[in-house]
Amino acid sequence: MQHVLFRSRIPYPLWHEAVSSAPVVARLGHRELHRLRKLASLFLHEKAITGAGGLEVDDFMRVYIAAQACLLILNLDLDDFQGWSEVIVYPDTFVIKREEYDASGVVHETRKALAGEAWQRGPVILSWSDARPGSHPHGPASNVILHEFSHKLDMLNGAANGMPPLHRDMVREEWTASLSHAYENLYHQVERHHHTSIDPYAAENPAEFFAVLTEVFFVQPALLHRLYPKVYRQLSLFYRQDPLQYT
Ligand SMILES: [Zn+2]
């Protein structure tokens, strides 16, 4: 690993530019930023970040994406992003066509405009207009990059279901109880059309709940801690970080 770092460490001016454009990373302490730069350099060595739909991906975009993706694994392991090798970036939201069978076996084609998507054992796909600096497509706590890469962690033990592999010092029942309780709570608010400070998309299913709450955990930790302190605690054990200390 050292020889990789020696050859391909992200140049400091570029690193500085990317970090200062990403508030969720810029607030880290000096030591954490140093570690994050190493991780992001290795990440970029392992993964190709390529443009699609006419978008040219430049070095700033690469480092900006890598820095935030690696924030998730700052105290975990680069191996947690194993088994896939590509990040594809579209200029804008992209349309995914899917064929779905209904109960009577008839195929329906559905089209969805997405800001991001993560495929199991496949690429992470992002829309640059939703991921770029200053963009909060789903409210002030939203961050498409953290969202999609957290799905990758969730997929480490199979299809995304809101239950990533927990660490040994974590208790599965506590994780499940805290997250299901909060999920039910948000689901009922959304169902009754109440305003929620958390993106209502979180109530879509447990996998989206984990991804959206990961965004809130890093971007607006105080909000998550106030609304669902037990979920904050579980995410803090999972990510081995305490973002509240930086606010
Ligand atoms: Zn998602």
- 211 CA distance to ligand 1 centroid (A)? 6
- 139 CA distance to ligand 1 centroid (A)? 15
| 207-210 contacts, C-beta under 8 A, 24 or more apart | 207/151, 207/154, 207/159, 207/160, 207/161, 207/162, 208/162, 209/162, 209/179, 209/182, 209/183, 210/150, 210/154, 210/160, 210/162, 210/163, 210/164, 210/179
- 115 CA distance to ligand 1 centroid (A)? 9
pLDDT of residue 4: 67
pLDDT of residue 99: 78
- 189 CA distance to ligand 1 centroid (A)? 20
pLDDT of residue 205: 95
Query: Which residues in the chain show pLDDT less than 70?
Result: 1-7
- 148 CA distance to ligand 1 centroid (A)? 6
pLDDT of residue 3: 67
- 209 CA distance to ligand 1 centroid (A)? 8
So where are the chain's domains? 2-246
Q: Domain spanning 2-246 has what CATH number?
A: 1.10.472.150
pLDDT of residue 236: 98
Contact in structure between 9 and 41 (CB atoms under 8 Å)? yes
DSSP percent split of the chain into helix, strand, coil, nearest 5: 55, 15, 35
- 13 CA distance to ligand 1 centroid (A)? 32
Residue with tokens 């969730």: 154
- 227 CA distance to ligand 1 centroid (A)? 21
